[in-house]
Amino acid sequence: MLNDDSDGISIRERLQTESSGGVFANKDLVRSDTIIDEDRIVGRNDQLGRVVDNLKPVLQNEGLPDMLLSGPSGTGKSLIIHAVCKQIVELCESQGKTFGVLSINCEGPKTADRAVYRLVKAAANDLDVDPGVPQTGVSTDQKLERLYELMRAYYDGVIFILDEIDMLEGPYQEAEYNSLIYQLSRARKLADFGGPISLTTITNYADFMKNLNSRAQSSYNPDDIFFDDYDATQLRHILKYRRDAFKSGSLSEDVIPLVAAFGSQTHGDARKAIDLLRWAGELAERRGADTVTEDDVREAQEKYTENRKLRHISGTSTQKKLSIYAVAATAHYATDHPEWIPAGPAFKTYQFIAETMDVDQYSRETFVNHVTEQSTYGVLDFERRGKGRGRGVHMYFSLSEDPETIMETIREDSRFADLAHEDATITAVVRERLKNFRTDN
Ligand SMILES: Nc1ncnc2c1ncn2[C@@H]1O[C@H](COP(=O)(O)OP(=O)(O)OP(=O)(O)O)[C@@H](O)[C@H]1O
């Protein structure tokens, strides 16, 4: 049944009609989840060189080091490790050996047990065999044993890649990444596996190692490889290598430099820059044009980046939402709505709200990590600054969105909805804590 606005065209006809205009030749090249060919990787020579040097020994059947790839979002960490692993797999194959790349994203599994299960599944999929253990009803040790069994039976060398390792927090006081790292870093000793093994973790936090407990720290000594932000020139190069995503002549000259300039303003994230270029192309197509213009880029930037920040907040974990909420509430309920919110009082607000909601309270360090991580998504800025003569240096946050809008976005999550009725109590707590902070020496 067609509605009055449909011009009598069915859904099928719409789907089958070529859109007029059409600026894309190969749109996949400007999708940030597309795995690109090696010849489109631009720069990152240092990081690439180190990952290559670290993984090369597998070709001689020699031991591999563990690695930690850290740096802000969209700076090529996953790209580099997977590009190198792909070559290693192929080179091993040509030597008649099988190299296993067992990669999982730690945002999903929540516990070390489930993460181990996902590794078993990753191996089983790769090998096209049965996982051989159920997800529930058996211990983590039994799952690990199955993982090692698959390794012994099929692989000559293995790399475990744990992406977004910091997200594996779990429901307990002590974050679950500790036990996963501890267990996997001991695989060399416990798996009875003849080949080399590398445990490679990926995180946005430069100082992630400091969060690990002493057990995990003592068994995991990775080569720490840092990926810094891209500047506008680097982003321009990255985008130029994807120019053929568009039909020849369909990109105005200024488009790539402008996308790169916007991208470098928001923490040099290549993923965002690639998305922005695609959105600009989509807007051009929507208006039936055959050329993407500077105006399309500006419109795309306006339309998508603002609500992307809020969308990001909606999709983050409960603890991170709680941390962001505490910062926004401290700004919103303060009498003077300060632009820069001191971390100390914001942490007190966090503790109070956590208590009100009856959820776990994390340490101040974890709280600060959760908040500062948001800067990579453009939600806020942070810096250390003095409180005044001789009164110490403190961490401050500055939100880039209206605090009330942030709070409303978080309250759309039913677990936070009741906070709307806590206006008066949170206001009292915030004002008291800010007053103490400002008068304390
Ligand atoms: N040096 C580069 N050359 C070409 N493309 C790049 C480069 N760096 C990043 N990209 C592209 O940017 C996007 C994001 O990169 P990647 O997934 O590797 O980032 P990341 O650092 O792992 O981010 P996150 O921490 O958010 O997972 C991908 O589409 C990738 O192809």
178-215 tens-digit pLDDT: 999 999 998 988 888 989 999 999 999 888 898 899 99
| Residue 181 φ then ψ, to 5° | -65, -45
> Does residue 352 contact residue 429 with C-beta atoms inside 8 Å?
yes
| CA–CA distance, 339 with 436 (Å, rounded to integer) | 18
Cβ atoms of 304 and 401 closer than 8 Å: no
Atom of ligand 1 nearest to the CA of 76: 18
E strands within 320-426?
A: 341-342, 380-386, 393-399
- pLDDT more than 90, % of the chain: 65
Alpha helices in 241-338 (DSSP H): 255-265, 270-286, 294-314, 318-333
The identity of residue 153, as a single letter, is A
Residue nearest atom 18 of ligand 1, based on CA coordinates: 76
Q: Residue 328's pLDDT is what?
A: 97
Judge if the beta carbon of residue 44 lies within 6 A of ligand 1: yes
Residue 264: pLDDT over 90? no
Strands 67-70 and 341-342: unpaired
User: For residue 362, is it left (φ>0), alpha (ψ between -120 and 50) or beta?
Assistant: beta
Q: What is the chain's mean pLDDT, rounded? A: 89
Residue 367 Cα to ligand 1 middle (Å) = 27
Q: Give the separation between CA 437 and CA 107, rounded to whole angstroms.
A: 35
Is the beta carbon of 238 within 6 A of some atom in ligand 1?
yes
pLDDT at 237 over 60: yes
Q: Does residue 7 carry a pLDDT above 60?
A: no
Res 13: pLDDT: 59
The 380-386 sheet, strands edge to edge: 341-342, 393-399, 380-386
Which of 308 and 437 is assigned the larger pLDDT?
437
Q: What distance in Å separates the CA atoms of residue 409 and residue 167, rounded to the nearest whole number?
A: 21
In this prediction, residue 387 carries a pLDDT of: 63
159 C-alpha to ligand 1 centroid (Å)? 20
**Start-end of H helices in 76-176:** 77-94, 112-127, 140-154
Atom 13, ligand 1: which residue's CA is nearest? Answer: 271
Eight-state DSSP code of residue 222: -
Q: State which H helix or E strand residue 185 sits in.
A: helix 177-185
CA of 238 to the centre of ligand 1 (A): 10
- DSSP-assigned letter for residue 267: T
CB 54 near ligand 1, within 6 Å = no
| CA–CA separation, 188 and 195 (whole Å) | 9
Distance 171 CA to ligand 1 centre (A): 30
Closest C-alpha to ligand 1, atom 27: 73
81 CB less than 6 Å from ligand 1? no
83 lines ligand 1 (CB under 6 A): no
Q: How confident is the model at residue 100 (pLDDT cuts 50, 70, 90)?
A: very high
Give 307-327 pLDDT, tens digit per residue: 778 878 888 889 999 999 999
Question: Residue 20: which region, alpha, beta or left (left: phi > 0; alpha: psi -120 to 50)?
Answer: beta
Complex-level ipTM: 0.98
Best CA proximity match to 105, nearest among 209, 226, 201: 201
β-pairing, 223-226 vs 67-70, is parallel
Residue type at position 264: S
Decide: 201 in ligand 1 pocket, CB within 6 A: no
Helices 270-286, 232-240: axis angle to 10 degrees equals: 60
Residues in a beta bridge with 382: 397
**235 pLDDT exceeds 80?**
yes
203 lines ligand 1 (CB under 6 A): no
Binding residues: 75-79, 230, 242
Query: Could you tell me if the CB of 105 is within 6 A of ligand 1?
Result: no
275 Cα to the center of ligand 1, angstroms: 11
**What's the pLDDT score for residue 83?**
93
Ligand 1 midpoint to CA 80 (Å): 8
- The rounded Å distance from CA 381 to ligand 1 centre is 22
Indicate if ligand 1 lies below 6 Å from the C-beta of 345: no
pLDDT for 20 equals 47
Would you say residue 1 has pLDDT above 50?
A: no
What tokens does 243 get? Answer: 């120019």
- Which residues does 127 contact at the CB level (< 8 Å), separation at least 6? 150, 154
Q: Pick from 113, 170, 96: which is nearest to 147 by CA? A: 113
Residue the block writes with tokens 């250390």: 384
- Tell whether ligand 1 has an atom less than 6 A from the beta carbon of residue 319: no
Residue reference for tokens 């080569």? 223
How open is the CA angle 219-152-149, to the nearest 5 degrees? 85
Q: Please choose, from the candidates 238, 288, 228, the residue with its C-alpha nearest in 3D space to the C-alpha of residue 260.
A: 238
Q: What are phi and psi of 281, to 5 degrees?
A: -65, -40
Half-sphere exposure of 317 (CA within 13 A, CB side): 20
To test the pocket of ligand 1, the residue of 38, 78, 167, 308 to mutate (highest count of ligand atoms within 8 Å of its CB) is 78
- Kindly list the structural domains of the chain, giving each domain's residue range(s) and its CATH number in brackets, ordered by start: 41-226 (3.40.50.300), 231-310 (1.10.8.60), 315-439 (1.10.10.10)
CA distance linking residue 319 with residue 361, whole number of Å: 9
Ligand 1 binding pocket includes 271 (Cβ within 6 Å): yes
The verdict on the CB of residue 403 being under 6 Å from ligand 1 is: no
Residues at the binding site for ATP are 75-79, 230, 242
The closest residue, in CA terms, to atom 6 on ligand 1 is: 76
**Predicted local confidence at residue 16, as pLDDT:** 55
Single-letter amino acid, residue 117:
Y
Token couple for 408? 């409303």
Contact 357, 350 (CB under 8 A): no
pLDDT at 76: 94
73 lines ligand 1 (CB under 6 A): yes
- Cβ atoms of 220 and 182 within 8 Å: the answer is yes
Residue 36: what are its φ and ψ, rounded to 5°?
-90, 160
CB of 36 within 6 A of ligand 1: the answer is yes
Judged by average pLDDT, the poorest of 82-86, 289-293, 343-347, 383-387 is 383-387
| Ligand 1 geometric centre to CA of 394 (Å) | 33
Query: What's the pLDDT at 388?
Result: 63
Residue 12 has pLDDT above 70, yes or no: no
Q: When comparing pLDDT for 324 and 13, which is higher?
A: 324
- The residue nearest atom 4 of ligand 1, judged by CA position, is 41
| 278 close to ligand 1 (CB < 6 Angstrom) | no
Q: Ligand 1 atom closest to Cα of 42?
A: 3
As a whole number of angstroms, the distance between CA 182 and CA 221 comes to 11
